[in-house]
C-alpha cells in the first residue's frame, strides 16, 4: 500500500518564491500540491507547467475572501505555505487564522528573506513579526524559513549588457567599501530546501536559515570581471549616504505609506542589512535562534555562485521579476 501523500497548499503560486517551491515539491512523490492564485492570475504563463503536471490551480483572493471562504478553500490540507508579498500583516493573519481552523499540521508564513532582527532594521521584517506573533498566539504549528540574497539579483552587469535579461533590479551599486560579507542562495535551491524542511520534525516550531555561500560585494564584482573579461562599473554608495537615504525614505513613508514609498524604503534597508550591518550571515542566524540549512542538510547539493554566474553570462539562467518595474 502506497504511503499517503502530504497535502501541501501554496499561496502566491505565481511569485518567484512560490514557483521555486512548487517546482521542488513536484520532484518528490511525497507531496500532493495545490496552488492558490489571485483570480486574475490563473492564466499566467508561470502556471502552464504546473497545469501540465495536473497541479490543481485554485483562484482565491485572500484579501477579499471571508475567513469562512478561506477555511473552506483549504479544507484537508496538511501544510500551508504562504508565498504572498505582504504590504501589511492583515492578509497573512487571516490566512493563519484559517489554517488554525482547518487544523493544518504546519504553517509556513511568507518570510523567505535575508536575516534581520525583529524590529528597527527592516520594515517588512516588522510586518512579518506581527504575523508570526499572531501565529504563536493561535498555538498554530509553524516553521519560519528565511533565505540568503538571491544569486539572480546579486550579480553586477558588465558593460556588454550580458545580464540585461536577468532582472530589472539594478545591481551595479556597491555599498560601503565592498568588503562586508553576506549570505547568498540560488532561487531554485530555496524550493529544494523548503521541500526538505516541511517534512523534517526537527524544524517544527523553529526558525530555519537557508543559504548556499557567503560572499563579499567586492568578490562578486571580481567574479563577473573574471568570467566576462570585462571591467565592471561600480556605482559606489558610502555608508553615510545609505543611512541618509534610509532616514529620508522613512520620513516619506511615515507621511505617505504608499506601496511606492514602502518599496523605496525597503530596498535601502535590505542593502543596509546585507552589505553594512552584517545581519545576513550564518553566525547572526545562530545568534537570532535559527537552525542553519548547512547543519540540517550537510549533504545538500547546491548550485554555487560561480557556476550560476557562468550560466547567467552565457544567457542560460532563468530571469526574475521580468514583468515588474522599479523606476516609479
3-state SS, 197-256, equals: HCCCHHHCCEEEEECCEEEEHHHHHHHHHHHHCCCCCCEEECHHHHHHHHHHHHHHHHHC
DSSP character for 47?
Answer: G
220's CB contacts (< 8 A; 6+ apart) are 154, 155, 156, 305
DSSP character for 282?
Answer: H
**CA distance linking residue 292 with residue 301, whole number of Å:** 15
CB 46 within 8 A of CB 70: no
Q: How many C-alpha atoms does 265 have within 13 Å on its Cβ side?
A: 23
3-state SS, 286-298, equals: HHCCEEEHHHHCC
Catalytic residue selected from 128, 168, 251, 260: 128
Secondary structure class of 171 (helix, strand, coil): coil
**CA distance linking residue 310 with residue 268, whole number of Å:** 28
**CA distance linking residue 15 with residue 79, whole number of Å:** 18
**CA distance linking residue 118 with residue 132, whole number of Å:** 11
Q: Using the CB atoms, write b or e for 25-60: b if 16+ within 10 Å.
A: bbeeeebbbbbbbbeebeeeebbeebeeeebebbeb
Active site residue 128: yes
**CA distance linking residue 196 with residue 209, whole number of Å:** 13
Among all residues, which ones are annotated catalytic? 128
Amino acid at each position: 500500500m502506497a504511503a499517503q501523500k502530504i497535502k501541501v497548499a501554496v499561496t502566491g503560486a505565481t511569485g518567484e518564491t512560490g514557483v521555486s517551491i512548487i517546482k521542488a515539491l513536484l520532484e518528490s512523490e511525497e507531496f500532493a500540491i495545490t496552488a492558490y492564485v489571485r483570480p486574475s492570475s490563473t492564466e499566467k504563463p508561470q502556471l502552464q507547467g504546473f497545469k501540465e503536471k495536473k497541479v490543481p490551480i485554485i483562484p482565491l483572493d485572500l484579501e477579499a475572501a471571508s475567513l469562512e471562504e478561506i477555511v473552506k478553500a483549504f479544507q484537508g490540507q496538511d501544510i500551508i505555505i504562504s508565498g504572498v508579498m505582504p504590504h501589511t500583516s492583515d492578509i497573512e493573519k487571516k490566512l493563519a487564522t484559517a489554517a488554525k481552523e482547518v487544523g493544518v499540521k504546519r504553517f509556513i508564513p511568507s518570510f523567505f528573506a535575508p536575516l534581520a532582527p525583529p524590529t528597527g532594521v527592516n520594515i517588512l521584517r516588522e510586518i512579518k513579526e506581527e504575523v508570526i506573533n499572531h501565529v504563536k498566539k493561535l498555538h498554530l504549528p509553524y516553521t519560519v524559513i528565511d533565505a540568503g540574497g538571491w544569486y539572480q539579483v546579486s550579480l553586477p552587469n558588465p558593460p556588454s549588457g550580458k545580464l540585461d535579461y536577468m532582472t530589472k533590479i539594478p545591481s551595479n551599486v556597491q555599498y560601503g567599501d565592498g568588503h562586508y560579507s553576506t549570505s547568498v542562495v540560488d532561487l531554485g535551491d530555496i524550493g529544494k530546501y523548503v521541500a526538505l524542511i516541511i517534512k523534517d520534525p526537527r524544524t517544527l516550531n523553529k526558525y530555519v536559515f537557508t543559504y548556499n555561500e557567503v560572499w563579499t560585494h567586492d568578490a562578486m564584482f571580481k567574479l563577473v570581471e573574471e568570467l566576462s573579461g570585462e571591467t565592471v562599473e561600480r556605482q559606489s554608495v558610502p555608508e553615510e549616504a545609505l543611512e541618509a537615504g534610509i532616514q529620508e525614505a522613512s520620513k516619506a513613508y511615515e507621511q505617505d505609506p504608499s506601496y511606492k514609498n514602502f518599496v523605496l524604503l525597503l530596498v535601502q534597508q535590505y542593502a543596509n542589512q546585507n552589505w553594512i550591518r552584517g545581519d545576513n550571515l550564518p553566525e547572526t542566524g545562530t545568534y537570532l535562534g535559527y537552525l542553519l540549512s548547512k547543519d540540517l542538510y550537510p549533504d545538500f547539493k547546491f548550485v554555487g555562485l560561480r557556476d550560476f554566474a557562468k550560466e547567467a553570462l552565457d544567457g542560460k539562467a532563468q530571469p526574475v521579476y521580468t514583468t515588474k518595474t522599479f523606476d516609479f
